[in-house]
Structure 1
Amino acid sequence: MDPRTDPRSAFRRWRADRPFWGGLLLTLGGAEVLLTMKASMKVVLHVGMQGLAGYLLPALMMLLGLLILFNPAQRLFYSITGVLVALGTWLTSNLGGFFVGLLLGVVGSCLAFGWLPDQEPRKRRRQRREEAATRVGQEAGEPA
């Protein structure tokens, strides 16, 4: 199969051009907080304002995660806003989805904030050793 038309390699190229894991974790954190808002009343803790903010902040978390995925040029603004919104769910949405959604949102936002677009992809340890051995061999005058 041609690597240019292979769907897996196309997805890998798309994923490499954006803070994929940060956006995904922020989106999943927002979804988890929304799901805990729908939990049975025996499980739900009524802490803080229950109302529109309880549903608005997790929906905003999901939107910011998707924006990080599909518009990575603005990832700094989205990730800072994502951290603030995720921390706000602690007061408005069952302690941030019982801390799980809160932590997913904060970690995802931090990953998106720290992502560098110009960075080369990491090489596996085996590839680094093989390249180092090739360089040492070339410096010693051995043909490659």
Structure 2
Amino acid sequence: MPRRSFRAWRARRPFWGGLLLALGGGEILLTEKASLKVVMHIGMQGLAGYLLPVLMALLGLLVLFNPTQRLFYSILGVLASLGTWVTSNLGGFFIGLLLGVVGSCLAFGWLPDQEPRVSRRERRRRARVLAEEAGTSAV
């Protein structure tokens, strides 16, 4: 039963986009703790090196728990992810940067449940079938 309720909760939000964005921020934070021989940027950019991944993780959680604002959060998420290229060891050695960008794009492209779009050809076929049924039932 909890699994079914989790699936229902997950279906109403851009789950994978928010999760990837948060994981990207977490991965970049972990690379900030790398040894000084590996770290590319230290010093004045140190604060931005921690600020942007924390912002990415926060935006990923916001996408998960407030999906109505997903467009704003995903735009900020992709900008923060791209900003880590300069501030955080080449975006967590590319892994965190890619996770953040892909997650933001997934969140941006997610649409809530909608009726499936029907092509003109399908609408004409349905109208023709309904007209034939109406014509045969009148006889």
Q: 2:49 aligns with which of 47, 54, 76?
A: 54
Note the residue ranges of structure 1 that are not aligned, 5 or more in a row.
1-5, 122-144
1:89-130: CA deviations, max 9, x gaps?
Answer: 000000000010000000000000000102479xxxxxxxxx
- The aligned length equals 116
1:82 is matched by which residue type in structure 2?
G
Is 2:58 aligned against 1:28?
no
**Structure 2: which 5+ residue stretches go unaligned?**
117-139
For 1:57-76, what aligned pairs fall within 5 Å after superposition? Answer: 57-76=52-71
Aligned 8 A contact 1:22 1:111 in 2: yes
The answer to whether 1:89 aligns with 2:84 is: yes
**Residue 113 (1) aligns with residue 124 (2):** no
Give, as a single letter, the amino acid of the residue that structure 2 aligns with 1:20: F
CA RMSD of aligned residues (A): 1.7
CA distance in 2, matches of 1:21, 1:43: 30
CA distance in 2: counterparts of 1:120 and 1:105, whole angstroms: 30
Per-residue deviation, 1:49:
5.1
Give the TM-score, by structure 1 length: 0.76
Aligned with 1:12 (options 7, 14, 19): 7
Kindly name which structure, 1 or 2, has the bigger radius of gyration based on alpha carbons.
Answer: 2
With normalisation by structure 2, the TM-score equals 0.79
C-alpha separation in 1, matches of 2:26 and 2:112: 27
